[in-house]
Structure 1
Amino acid sequence: MNSHFLDGRYRILKALNDGEKGKTYLVEDVNLPGSQFIVKQLRPPSSNPQTLTILRRLFASKAATLEKLGQEHDNIQKLIASFEENEEFYIVYEFIAGNPLTDEIIQGQPLREDQVISLLSEILEVLVLVHSYGVIHRDIKPANIIRRESDEKLVLVNFGTFNEAIINTVDNLEYMPIEQVNGNLKYNSDIYALGIVAIAALRGLPANEIFNLRSQNNKLTGEIDWRNKNLTVNRKLANIINRMVRFDYRKRYQYATEVLDDLKKLINVEHNQQKQHHKKLLLVLTGIVGCITLGIGAWFLQLPKPASDAQQKLYQEGVNKYDAGNYEGAVKDFNQVIELDPQNALAYNRRGDAYYRLGDYEQAQADSSQAILLNPQDANAYFDRGFAFSELGKYKEAIADYNQAIKLNSKDAYAYYGRGLTLAQLKDNKGAIGDFSKAIALKPQYTEAYLQRGILRRRVRLRQAAIQDFDRVIKINPSDAKAYYQRALTQSINKQKYAAIKDYTAAININPKYIEAYLNRGDVYSDLGDKLEASEDYNTILQIDPKFIAAYTHRGIHRFSFGDYKGAIEDYTAALKLDSNNISAYNNRGNAYLELGNKKAANQDYSRVIAINANNALAYYNRGVIRTKQKNKQGAIADFAKAAKLFQQQGEQDSYQDAQREITILQNNSAPAPTTRPKSGKIEKN
């Protein structure tokens, strides 16, 4: 056995598992003496050449994805290589020195709650990334979670992706939810399995007792009744686990990020992080809104503290309320501080921050100005006032304040970032890109600066450079949904539709309520002719927000595209109930009425567009089509002439030529109905 080589280089040291579907070996790479790896053999169910060809393609695709996953996260077992020998497939994994979780979950020895919370958090962090790549582990159980010897971290191993793709079997039913057993795998199937692992850990149950556990159902709810009288568990933790293991996947947590959020609330991690890194987190998570709070700590070095205990207490209460999102309460506390000490520059600054968050930019600007009067050398006061000016549309004043902030502190990455945002508003793309680049040079992990630079680079058609910026954000923070979304937009512009779908899906997995990602993914599905997938995305948006107008108009365009004109009319009508001046809805509904032969209704819709916006070329063109069908030659020529003039002014040369051609046909007394119309209802999709 020891003399046997796989792929001509992997010497078998030991057979770890020998099953009917394949074997697992501990091997040494003879090219790297002393190195050890795990090799897993997969035996295809058939040697039919056509089947093998399909399996080879699947195998290569899955291997490439898992190889990239291992590179992205240190807590995922790395895929080293893959190969085929004698019509059998092999995967080479890194060898993880450590012990499986089965060594920690011992019968009769339950783990503590904090140990279980830590276990869940570590694996969920991994699942966020895994699911963002469209991968489902499929086989989460204690044996596939290794506690690495070198750093005591948990590592997820033995992805079941190949098993499903190559040998198409289902094993280890102890931890699998019913939908997976039935072949209807979901992302939250992994969440269910992890929930069962957590229960086993809290109860001290080995794998052979999990079946008995799952048969212990609550008579009223039908769910697993895992809490016995001898087990005391924090109620909130128990509720989280119960939701992880709901029998119906639709009632379960849908995404790993949701479970993580609830766990963080449970252990108060978010609160502690906000206290320690509040300013930087606000900047990263909320862009402009957050920027205004950064750098406040420097005030404590530059300005005197409130003189009395009462002032200090009031000030701290205001800060606490601000951190908790109670901005009105914070304003009241800072008001009292200022009444006690009208020279307290820091109180003015923090009150200005609170007013900013409340959307009162005039008052925010006034408070920042007062802070500047009290301390003209503080860069942060200029920085804060710059954001207030920017929100008020006073961009030149904002630029002046950012310049002063940079003059006082040339190493402040956030000041360059703020100035870059304002320059972008002024359409100075080159200057804005330069400022974002400067911010990145000063702060190489500044994800918001990369994100904004990427958006601008896409705007100026530097699409590959834009993708590189979004790639960088994702590398720094694999859970940044905005970066996946922006990269998807760029991929879509580049006609890389399947890549765009993958990125939109990753954004949605991270943020299940990311409406814009559903909308754009639906549009891509629609372009590809994937009728059901597109409809499901538009429908999901309307479940999240029934008043989201674009979902109706986009679904209307989708329905129109496959001939469901009545359905399209229903959607455009719903949009118009929410916005009676929605031009694209009128234009598109007119087109749908026209397809159904209702010329009168179509004409009314086009005329309504013109009444709202007398420069809408598309409405004139479409009304010209109606008038031609109604044999109103002069009216049609007038509409086409107006459309042609507007199209030419707007630089739409093809549409201009269409309109001119229709005029020529009518003037030559040949009046067949036009056969070509430009697309109607162009929609702003951002």
Structure 2
Amino acid sequence: MNSHLLDGHYRILKVLNDEEKGKTYLVEDVNLPGSQFIVKQLHSASSNPQALTILRRLFASKAATLEKLGREHDQIQKLIAYFQDNEKFYIVQEFIPGDPLTDKIIQDQPLKEDEVISLLSEILNLLVIVHSYGVIHRDIRPANIICRESDKKLVLVNFGTFNEVITNSVDHLEYIPIEQVNGNLKYNSDIYALGIVAIAALRGLPAKEISTLQSQKNKLTGEIIWCNKNLKLNRKLVKVINRMVRFDYRKRYQYATEVLDDLNKITNVDRDQQKQYQKKLLLVLMGVAGCITLGFGAWFWKLPKPVSDAQQKLYQEAVNKYDAGNYEGAVEDLNQVIELDPQNALAYNRRGDAYYRLGDYEQAQADSSQAILLNPQDANAYFDRGFAFSELGKYKEAIADYTQAIKLNSQDAYPYYGRGLARSQLKDNKGAIGDFSKAIALKPQYTEAYLQRGILRRRLRLREEAIQDFDKVIKINPSDAKAYYHRGLTQLINKQKYAALKDYTDAISINPKYIEAYLNRGDVYSDLGDNLEATEDYNTILQIDPKFIAAYIHRGIHHFSFGDYKGAIEDYTAAVKLDPNNIVAYNNRGNAYLELGNKKAANQDYSRAIAINPNNALAYYNRGVIRTKQKNKQGAIADFKKAAKLFQQQGEQDSYQDAQREIEILKNKSAPAPTTRPKSGKIEKN
């Protein structure tokens, strides 16, 4: 076996694990004598060629993300390389000399409180970074926490990302919360697993004994009962761990920063170290929300702290609540800070940010304005007010604020991005593209700027340039589902249906709940005549969101195209129940009734569509068709004239000519049933 080289240059030194789903080896790179690595072999759960193609892309995408993550922090195991051999996938990981936590958790030899708090703090700080990358570890347990030999620091290893993607399996159920078992993974699923590790350490329970916790639950609440009278523990620590392992993930801590905050209240953990981790988190978050947080965070660490200790403590509590997503709590604390010091520009700025997250854009704008009044040189305040103005639809005011932010700090990419969004709303396409391009020049890895520029270029029919932008996003971040989706839209406009299908499928593989991708893929399948595949996509949407009206309408159009008029009527009726003013549903249902010969019901639906929107050209045209069949010549001519006028105003030349043709036929008294009718119903796609 040792003579066999994996990927041509990894010599197997030792088999560390041999399981049905794959093997784990200790290897040496023959090109780097003396270097040792861990190689994990994963067997695919499927041998279907199409499934393997999707898995291959997902595998590469997940690996690329973990590569970045390993470079971010030296206490996160580095992913060195990855490759595929037939239906087997391999990942090459850093070898960490040291002892797993399993060697430290020995039966009936519990760790001390301070040791467990230190363990929790160290791993939670790593989870802050991990989760900020959109990654969930999935397999936190003592065997995957290594005490590094060189410096005794804890290292997080063996991310479970690939297990669930490639092997479709979930192992070590004693550490896994119920939502993860059910496939509804959450960030705080990692917090649950770490809580179980803490309980094992405090109780002295080795791995084989952890399963006993599952039988020690409160019969009424289902919560784990682990702290007996013999354990003399700090009640606050017990309270923290209990909240970490709550059965219902909604009642658990939502963020690692929340747990850290409560642990810090128990002990005198060095706050400076904690601030560095929080700052790290702020620096890695991207996008609109990320750059708002970044702006505030960067400003906070540079400015002097509030004068009094009470204000500083209160402000820090607000920051912690904000970082944990408790924006209401942050506002309450910041109200007190401002009451104590009405000149605290920083507090106004942060409160405005919290209001923004709560959707109160008027108050966000007011707070940013006050921050500007107190500190006119703060670029971040102008930047944040710009976003508030944008949400309020005041794009000119937003552009003025972004421009001022740029004047104060011309090297910041984010105001250019924000101004680009506002300019695109005002149809200043050239200016918007210029701003997105400037943001990209300042920040070459700014995926959101590439994405928005690509969307704008597609609208301007610069399709090849748009695809180049989406390609760039995917190259930077292969896990960006939106980039695949928008590239798919562009491919479809270029009549590349199969290329679009592939992109929609990739988007869905990355985000299995991407409703818009299912909707568009279903439409493409329908156009290609793939009845079952299209129906499955529409059905999947309605499983995800039973109230998603567009899915009923698109499925109705699909049924109609295959001659299933009754099925179409059922779908349009469901859409009308959800939205009694949905014109598309009435219009399309009228078409289906017409095909079944129910002229009365069709006429009622078209008339209802007109009553809702008197400028709906298609409804007038279709009612004209009905009136023609009913020998109502004058009524039909009136409807076709109205339709023709509206079609002409809307620039729909072909439909305008259809209406004019029907008018001429009726005026010549030949009055045969119209042979052409504009296609009805497919909603506009973004």
Residue 534 of structure 1 corresponds to 538
- 2:419 & 2:601 partners in 1: Cα distance? 50
> How far off its partner does 1:610 sit?
2.8
Q: Distance in 2 between matches of 1:617 and 1:350?
A: 49
Residue of structure 2 in register with 1:156 after alignment: 158
2:83 counterpart letter in structure 1: A
Aligned position for 2:680: 679
Partner Cα separation in structure 2 for residue 488 and residue 31 of structure 1? 41
Q: Residue 27 of structure 1 contacts residue 39 of structure 1 at CA under 8 Å; is this kept in 2?
A: yes
Q: 2: distance between equivalents of 1:274 and 1:91?
A: 32
Residue type of the alignment partner of 2:504: A
> Per the alignment, do residues 63 and 437 of structure 1 end up closer, same or farther by CA in structure 2, a change over 3 Å counting?
closer
Q: Match for residue 208 of structure 1?
A: 208
**In the superposition, relative to structure 1, how do residues 677 and 164 fare at CA in structure 2: closer, same or farther (>3 Å)?**
same
Question: Aligned residue for 1:434?
Answer: 434
Question: Could you list the per-position Cα deviations for residues 108-155 of structure 1 after superposition, in whole angstroms to 9, with x for gaps in the alignment?
Answer: 3445145246546746975897879xxx97x77544565666774212
The question of whether the paired residues in 1 share the 8 Å contact of 2:586 and 2:606 is answered with yes
The change in CA–CA distance for 1:141 and 1:593 in structure 2 (over 3 A counts) is: farther
8 Å Cα contact 1:25-1:38 kept in structure 2: yes
Q: String of CA shifts for 1:478-533, please: whole Å, max 9, x gaps.
A: 7xxxx644652443443433533543564577xxxxxxx43553453465435355
Which one of the candidate residues 233, 238, 241 is aligned to 2:242? 238
Contact 2:618 2:643 in 1 (8 A): yes
1:570 is matched with which residue: 561, 573, 577?
573
Q: What are the residue-to-residue correspondences of 1:255-270 with 2, within 5 Å? A: 261-268=254-261
Sort the Cα spacing of 1:420 and 1:612 in 2 relative to 1 into closer, same or farther, 3 A. same
2:124–2:257 CA contact under 8 A, matched in 1: no
Query: Does the 8 Å CA contact 1:110/1:204 hold for their aligned counterparts?
Result: yes
Residue in 1 that maps onto 2:102 = 102
The one-letter code sitting in structure 2 at the alignment partner of 1:558 is R
Q: What is the rounded CA distance, in whole Å, between the counterparts of 1:57 and 1:650 in structure 2?
A: 43
Q: How does 1:587-666 map to 2 (within 5 A)?
A: 587-595=587-595, 597-656=597-656, 658-659=658-659
Normalised to the residue count of structure 1, the TM-score between the two structures is 0.69
Q: Distance in 2 between matches of 1:378 and 1:41?
A: 53
Letter in 2 for 1:622: N
**Aligned residues of 2:413 and 2:438 also touching (Cα < 8 A):** yes
CA–CA separation in structure 2 for the residues paired with 1:16 and 1:329:
52
Does the alignment pair 1:115 with 2:119? Answer: yes
Q: How many residue pairs get matched? A: 622
Distance 1:266 1:297, change over 3 A: closer
The structure 1 residue matched to 2:549, chosen from 552, 577, 595, is 552
Q: Conserved in 2, the CA contact under 8 Å of 1:82 and 1:90?
A: yes
Q: Secondary structure at the match of 1:600?
A: helix
Task: Tell me, yes or no, if the aligned pair for 1:29 and 1:35 is still in contact at 8 Å.
Answer: yes
- Using the alignment, how far apart are the partners of 2:38 and 2:475 within structure 1? 31
- CA distance in 2 between counterparts of 1:224 and 1:575 reads 42
The whole-number CA distance in structure 1 between the counterparts of 2:140 and 2:286 is 36
Shift of 1:423: 1.9
Equivalent pair of 2:485/2:507 in contact (CA under 8 Å): yes
Percent identical across equivalent pairs? 47
In structure 2, how many angstroms separate the alpha carbons of the residues matched to 1:12 and 1:360?
Answer: 63
Query: Aligned partners of 1:40, 1:376: CA distance in 2, in Å?
Result: 56
Q: Which amino acid aligns with 2:59?
A: L
Q: TM-score, normalised by structure 2?
A: 0.69
Alignment of 1:143-292 (within 5 A): 143=143, 152-156=154-158, 159-160=162-163, 164=167, 187=185, 199-216=199-216, 218-220=218-220, 225-231=225-231, 232=233, 234-243=238-247, 261-268=254-261, 284-286=287-289
Distance 1:401 1:163 in 2: 48
Superposed counterparts of 1:287-302, under 5 Å: none
Distance change in 2, residues 1:32/1:389 (3 Å)? closer
Deviation at 1:678, TM superposition (A): 0.6
Task: Specify the SS of the correspondent of 1:535.
Answer: helix
Q: Is the 8 A contact 1:283 1:294 kept in 2?
A: no
TM-fit CA distance, 1:538: 3.2
2-side partners of 1:30 and 1:310: how far apart?
59
1:494 has 2:488 as partner: no
In structure 1, which of residues 514, 520, 524 is the aligned counterpart of residue 521 of structure 2? Answer: 524
Q: Following the alignment from structure 2 to structure 1, what is the Cα–Cα distance between the partners of residues 21 and 365? A: 71
Q: Deviation at 1:429? A: 1.8
Q: Determine the structure 1 residue equivalent to 2:467.
A: 464
Contact 1:625 1:636 in 2 (8 A): yes
Q: How many Å apart are 1:80 and its aligned residue?
A: 3.2
Where do residues 58-97 of structure 1 align in structure 2 (5 Å cutoff)? 62=55, 65-73=58-66, 74=70, 75=77, 77-83=79-85, 91=90, 93-97=92-96
Is the contact between residue 665 and residue 672 of structure 2 (CA under 8 Å) also seen in structure 1? yes
Asked whether 1:421 is paired with 2:416, we answer no
Please tell me whether the aligned partners of residues 108 and 205 of structure 1 are also in contact (alpha carbons under 8 angstroms).
yes
* CA–CA distance in structure 1, aligned partners of residues 622 and 351 of structure 2: 54
Could you say if the C-alpha distance between residues 203 and 446 of structure 1 is closer, same or farther in structure 2, counting changes exceeding 3 Å?
A: farther
Which residue of structure 1 lines up, in the alignment, with residue 74 of structure 2? Answer: none
1:246 aligned partner: none
Aligned partners of 2:396 and 2:131: how far apart in 1?
46
Does the 8 Å contact 1:454/1:469 carry over to 2?
no
**By how many angstroms is 1:371 displaced?**
5.8
Report the CA distance between 1:626 and its aligned residue: 2.0
Query: Mean alpha-carbon deviation: is it higher for 105-114 or for 266-275?
Result: 266-275
Q: CA deviation at 1:91?
A: 3.7
Aligned to 2:254, the other structure's residue is in SS state helix
Residue 71 of structure 1 aligns with an amino acid whose one-letter code is: A
**2:128/2:281 contact within 8 Å kept:** no
Please tell me the residue identity of whatever aligns with 1:268. Answer: D
Q: CA deviation at 1:430?
A: 2.0
Partner of 1:247: none
> SS in structure 2 opposite 1:94?
strand
Q: How many Å separate the matches in 1 of 2:221 and 2:385?
A: 56
Q: Which amino acid aligns with 2:158?
A: L
Structure 1 unaligned spans of 5+ = 46-50, 244-250, 510-516
- Give the partner amino acid of 1:97: I
- CA separation in 2, counterparts of 1:657 and 1:273? 68
How far apart are 1:13 and its partner, in Å? 2.8
Cα 1:402/1:617, change in 2 over 3 Å = same
C-alpha distance 441-152 of structure 1, shift in aligned 2 (>3 A): farther
Range 218-227 or range 106-115, more displaced: 218-227
